[in-house]
Amino acid sequence: MDAREIKDEIARRWHKTLARGTDAGTDGARTGRGMSVSGSTPPSVFVGSYGYPKVYVGPMVPPVHGDTAIFDRPERWRGLSLGDIVGLRLGMIRGVKQVRADLAGSGGDSRYVEQLQEVAMSSAPLGSDISFEGPVQIRTAAQRGRHSGGDDTGIPFGPIGLVRSAEFSDMPRPSRQIEKLYYDTDANASEAMFSLYESGIAMSDIQRCLSIGMLGSRRRLVPTKWSITAADSAISSRLLGHVSECDVIDSCRVFCHEHLGNAFAVVLFKNRWLFELVEAWHTPAPDVGNSNTSKASGRASFASDWETSHLQRAPRNTAGAYYAARLGVLEYLAERHVQAGALVLREIRPEYSVPVGVWQVREGVRAAMKNPVAVADSMADGVRLAASATGIATSDWLGHADTTRLARQRTLGDYA
């Protein structure tokens, strides 16, 4: 099922549900002023970026009761199909109300945000009753195709409506670690996120807390897609501080993993910290009989970003995917108290028809680093081995990567 078929199927299902007002397995109903929905939020809250610093924020609720945690827990989506994941996300109704990101404003808006912060602290799904100003609308983030200069930071979501009122019940005990950091207004956001991470709190929970303005000394609402990248960046930077003081690995290691139409190959080689992500995505080839896989042929397009221990650069080309991949690599190195140069190859295949968010880059690289390792005789052999796990030639990967040049410069510099 491609992106258009997935989107159309979800839209048909929701139009049918909303037309009837109720449905087997759902709890949605029309009211005199609009629609109301009763269900269990995973918990899930979403902060949009449109109109910033005035943002649309609210809960996301599937119209079913019970254990709905999987609806908003990417860490539990390994093994699910792309259609399964999109179905979970589009199966939640997103309620929104516009508030100021700096949390200033009327008392009513402040109480609304406080409610959502209480939701975000919840350790389990909780009962939710949302009333809307009018009918909810079918709007999805499902898009056909992939990449034209941006990245897939965001996760698809389903019908959306303006919140008139929101009530939450059966509030479970808050996570103790999250509650502690919520009341600690002296710790900055980076310190708070890393403290939660070290306590074993899932990345999706950390990102949600940052987004809804619960962490740091200067708190504000952070659009969800920004908070995802901010958390990946902050936590991986903390790990890098430790890794950069460790000894260099003694061998070239290659790790591979495939999921959701993405192939990941990671090469760790003997070098001080150096990191590069190279992404390649397939585009229709022009009808010229050219079978070469290159940017010029139209068969694949590339984007890359890199850094060294002495030069940190904003990833202009791969954006959120860069920090997600970097976190996965640094977790492996930090656990083993070593440092290395790292080249990550990501092949985005045509079957990745609906971008579902950079969480899948983080989880894909994490999964790769847990797979059996292949030891190569040299970095060159490691790159060839990594490329063989993709459908793109080694020469094409190297033609769009700077790793070889950077590693050579660092080696000469080390012995200067």
The pTM for the full model equals: 0.87
Judged by DSSP in three states, 68 sits in coil
Nearest to 89 by CA among 153, 152, 10, 166: 10
Placement of tokens 């990417």 in the chain? 74
Placement of tokens 């139009």 in the chain? 15
Placement of tokens 């997935």 in the chain? 6
Judged by DSSP in three states, 86 sits in helix
Placement of tokens 């350790």 in the chain? 123
Is residue 254 within 8 Å of 267, Cβ to Cβ?
yes
Taking the CA of residue 109 as centre, how many other CA atoms within 13 Å lie in the half-sphere pointing to its CB? 16
Ranges of each domain in the chain: 3-173, 247-414
In angstroms, the CA 175 to CA 163 distance is 26
Is residue 295 within 8 Å of 285, Cβ to Cβ?
no
In angstroms, the CA 310 to CA 409 distance is 12
Nearest to 382 by CA among 191, 251, 286, 224: 251
Q: pLDDT tens digits, the chain, 416 residues: what are they?
A: 555 666 566 556 555 544 544 343 345 544 445 689 999 999 999 999 999 999 999 999 999 999 999 999 999 998 999 888 988 888 899 999 999 998 755 556 888 999 999 999 998 999 999 999 988 887 644 433 333 233 455 566 678 999 999 999 877 788 899 999 999 999 999 999 999 999 999 999 999 999 999 999 999 999 999 999 999 999 999 999 999 999 999 999 999 999 999 999 999 999 999 999 999 998 764 443 333 333 334 479 999 999 998 888 899 999 999 999 999 999 999 999 999 999 999 999 988 888 899 999 999 999 999 999 999 999 999 999 999 999 999 999 999 999 989 888 755 445 44
Placement of tokens 């995917």 in the chain? 321
Judged by DSSP in three states, 177 sits in helix
Is residue 124 within 8 Å of 106, Cβ to Cβ?
no
Using a 10 angstrom Cβ sphere, with 0-12 exposed, 13-18 middle and 19 or more buried, the burial of residue 252 is buried
Total count of residues recorded for the chain: 416
